[in-house]
Structure 1
Amino acid sequence: MKNLGFTLWFTGLSGAGKTTISQGVALELKARGSRVEILDGDVVRTHLSQGLGFSKQDRDTNVCRIGFVASLLSRNQVVAIVAAISPFRDSRAQVRQMNDNFIEVYVKASLEACEQRDVKGLYALARAGKIPEFTGIDSPYEEPLNPEIVCNTQQENITESINKVIKYLETREYIRATSVSSEKPSLTA
């Protein structure tokens, strides 16, 4: 059994389910006694990356800052869970290099599905030209080429996606396998 922290990096379009799945995984890991910290992209941008815009350079800077904090946490036996769009492969590769135990989780959903789920109305604002450089609309999202885990939220419910991540962590001995609880977190996408 590894006695190390690790970084779980959830990437995907806005509305794909990154935050919801990461929160469910965090609840399960905490219930098993792990020390866990969630670094949500929206929250981090408000506090750690305030003042950055949405150019490629600013997005890369934001992702690298989050990656640096995750590496500090994980090397101190904390599970760093990151939920951030992180749209560019090269910045995700940089973050992977910063973190010894890095697990990329691609939360996959089509642009159409994400737009339908958009409770904040961000896609509509982007399509109306009110949010420039919005990922998926007028700024690209580069899908991961070889993520360790893919959670397809159009085919899996939240509990299935959470269980997929937990099973991966058990199989790779990041966490101890335990009997499956009949009560799983009740979360919606």
Structure 2
Amino acid sequence: MNPTTEINGSVIWVTGLSDSGKSTLANFLTKKLKTNNTMPTLLDGDQLREVFGPVYGYDHESRLKLAYRYSALCKMLASQGHAVIIATIALFHEIHSWNRQHLPGYFEIFLNTPIEELRRRDSKGLYKRYDTGEASCVYGLDLKAEMPLNPDIKIDFDPSRSPESIAGEVFNKLLLCKA
């Protein structure tokens, strides 16, 4: 069996809180899939926000609407045979459930990173802005995050593991699940 055929037409949903490593993992996973003769379509939540424009805020309802847009985009691309990798927060049980019911080849990866580590990374200054009162609607702080109930892979933070090794683990599990 050619695992490449099984990966095309599927959606790999990488989720976790801000600064958990979603984009990093998605990028490494994209590289791994390319070595398997798969040409994945990589979607990043921050870049998608730029594409969709400023019409979506950061409150619960706006985030939920945007998450449904992401899901619809993934469905469209996967139905055309693309192997879609999306890195997004989108921590809603209803989104995860909808995705499992409607997205072809749905494979969910949850990055479980403690808030202390997220605050240490703080690449966008989000947590610092929250602490000073300049930002609100931050998942894990003033917005309740609905962590996935049954992800295909849950990756708990381990400072001794590199993103490359995690991507390798995910890649191997993905191939096993799609075989």
The normalised TM-score by structure 2 is 0.90
Distance 2:62 2:107 in 1: 23
Contact 2:9 2:104 survives alignment (8 Å): no
Contact 1:6 1:101 survives alignment (8 Å): yes
1:49 deviates by 5.0
Contact 2:11 2:74 survives alignment (8 Å): yes
Aligned equivalent of 2:47: 43
1:102 deviates by 0.5
CA RMSD of aligned residues (A): 1.5
Aligned equivalent of 2:176: 171
Where 1:172 maps in the other structure, the secondary structure is helix
Runs of 4+ in structure 1 displaced over 4 angstroms? none
Where 1:167 maps in the other structure, the secondary structure is helix
Q: Which of the numbers 95, 106, 113 marks the counterpart of 1:91? A: 95
Answering whether residue 38 of structure 2 is matched by residue 34 of structure 1, we say yes
Give the 5 Å matches for 1:72-91.
Answer: 72-91=76-95
Contact 2:25 2:167 survives alignment (8 Å): yes
Answering whether residue 28 of structure 2 is matched by residue 24 of structure 1, we say yes
Q: Which of the numbers 102, 107, 110 marks the counterpart of 2:111? A: 107
Distance 2:178 2:129 in 1: 43
State the one-letter code of the partner of 1:67: S
Answering whether residue 74 of structure 2 is matched by residue 70 of structure 1, we say yes
* Cα deviations by residue, 1:84-106 (Å, 9 ceiling, x for unpaired): 01122112222332202101100
Contact 2:32 2:168 survives alignment (8 Å): no
Q: List gaps (5 residues or longer) in structure 2.
A: none
The normalised TM-score by structure 1 is 0.86
Distance 2:139 2:81 in 1: 33
Contact 2:15 2:89 survives alignment (8 Å): yes
State the one-letter code of the partner of 1:172: C
Distance 2:105 2:178 in 1: 12
Q: List gaps (5 residues or longer) in structure 1.
A: 175-189
Contact 1:127 1:137 survives alignment (8 Å): no
Q: Which moved more, 1:149-158 or 1:56-65?
A: 149-158
1:120 deviates by 1.9
Aligned equivalent of 1:145: 149
Where 2:178 maps in the other structure, the secondary structure is coil
Q: How many residue pairs get matched?
A: 174
The structure with more helix, counted as a fraction of residues? 2
Distance 2:178 2:51 in 1: 33
